[in-house]
Structure 1
């Protein structure tokens, strides 16, 4: 109750500006994917704050742009004094903060998690429209589509791939990474083995499936953790030795943005580099 009362007092002193009739001039982002869109589409000059995660190049595609604006940790106490005319948040994060901001009269736009490339393009368009930057949004989508269309043709018999993330998570069916893999000419084995977008695969399942390519979805400069243990398991070592493992930072396809094209290009290059006679882990290999 005291926290709410304090926020109300601050709110009265710094009421939110109204930008319904024009471009919002004080934008606050509470979501890493929103950080990228507002910084790319509106520019740092109109952004009052982004998440502190946006400054970390291991997980952010716009760390250079984020260095020019203040950051937040998703707290209402940080947002209210900024008197934003638009707050953009993720649909599944900072729920208490967004509820408080709405009660105080701030406009909050929530972004969902796209399940397809078309949904990603639509999200870029929706954010661009709200920012009053429709042309920039259309240009961004056009560039991504053009890059996807320019990918090298894939063979009729697509090589198989499995995405390996910390804690055994993978990219399953009904996800943007699943579609990016397909655009790159790869058959996502996890779409058959996993039950949802972000399912988990045991080491035994990966070894038994014997994918042609292992996509290691982790930042090479991330600090060591128990979650990464599977990524470095000896049973997967033959993929690296045989040139069948490709590192791909999660940031490249975690959000709607230009990096989706870069992810597809890297995967297409890795697929093309797989020599027909390259070493492949033997069937039934165990460690």
Structure 2
């Protein structure tokens, strides 16, 4: 994965001589790409953000509202005439040959749901944007904030159990970004502790299989429009939620595995601190 990303970054750095510092017109094609581009690129260099920017699940600032919108549509991307298009882990797909034919460089973020991938994406995109020092600073800040959370966790008398419940009734086991946030905060992921791995579909039996100290919910009030809201309406999940400490993490913090994931971890850590007597 790392070799592929380094090669992709070279599409701009090795092919362009127009600007030694990096691309002057950057288009972000999806929500995950937005998170990284907005963290690393200079404001004046962002030519377009994704069609999801400005939606409730996006953490984009208000100033992006007036920018042109991009997606994976090749015709739209070519019309925007960017120097570089940044895609999330799903990549350029069918747009790739059209971008290549138009001489437009493109890069796809690496897929993964842990801190190593987030750091790798920051470093690789930083190289592609001519913002390596900024990327290095962000990586260092992420590590410092995670170390601060580790110290907070060590100061607690125990590691509380945490169960994640989405608006659809789904849960999150090991090897998910939710699991990474819970563990970084100093909690035990109840679903992972029960042997679950990956993203789990709605299953009301979880309401009887776990007895967590804290419920972490997401997308209950600020998520995608969905008709599947078992997490809110199913009586078993209501039983699990009633009378138990709960934290609703804002959707932008983990709509993808991006730099904002540390915000989710810190919010969970705050909620874990409040569980302790006298806090």
Distance, in Å, in 1 between the alignment partners of 2:57 and 2:17 is 32
**Which is worse superposed, 150-159 or 128-137?**
150-159
Aligned pairs, how many? 261
The CA deviation string for residues 209-252 of structure 1, in whole angstroms up to 9 with x for no partner, is: 22222111115144764222323433333554424221012321
Q: Quick check: 88-97 or 157-166, which moved more?
A: 88-97
Comparing 27-36 and 152-161, the one that deviates more: 152-161
SS of 2:47's partner is strand
Contact 1:18–1:85 (CA under 8 A) maintained in structure 2? no
Secondary structure, counterpart of 2:85 in structure 1: strand
- Unpaired runs of 5+ residues, structure 1, are 1-15, 277-287
| Alpha-carbon distance between aligned partners in 1 of 2:269 and 2:253, rounded to the nearest angstrom | 14
TM-score under structure 2 length normalisation: 0.82
Match of 1:13 in 2: none
Determine helix, strand or coil for the equivalent of 2:255: coil
Compute the displacement of 1:272 (Å): 1.9
Please show how residues 102-251 of structure 1 align to structure 2 within 5 Å.
102-151=100-149, 152-154=152-154, 155=156, 157-193=158-194, 195-222=196-223, 225-251=226-252
- Structure 1 distance, partners of 2:18, 2:217, is 43
Deviation of 1:263 (Å): 0.8
- Extract unaligned runs of 5+ from structure 2: 1-14
Label 1:19 to 1:257 Cα distance change in 2 as closer, same or farther (>3 A). farther
| Rounded Cα–Cα distance in structure 2 between residues aligned with 1:232 and 1:212 | 21
Larger Rg: 1
Distance 1:130 1:30, change over 3 A: same
Match of 2:5 in 1: none
Q: Contact (CA 8 Å) 1:128, 1:137: kept in 2 or not?
A: yes
2:7 aligns with none
CA contact (8 A) 2:207 2:236 kept: no
With 228-237 and 114-123 compared, the bigger mean Cα shift is at 228-237
1:31: which partner in 2? 30
Aligned counterparts of 1:18 and 1:247: Cα–Cα separation in 2: 47
Larger displacement relative to structure 2 (77-86 or 17-26): 17-26
Moved more, 119-128 or 93-102: 93-102
Distance 1:112 1:219 in 2: 28
Compute the TM-score of the two structures, normalised by the length of structure 1. 0.80
Q: Which residue of 2 aligns with 1:9?
A: none
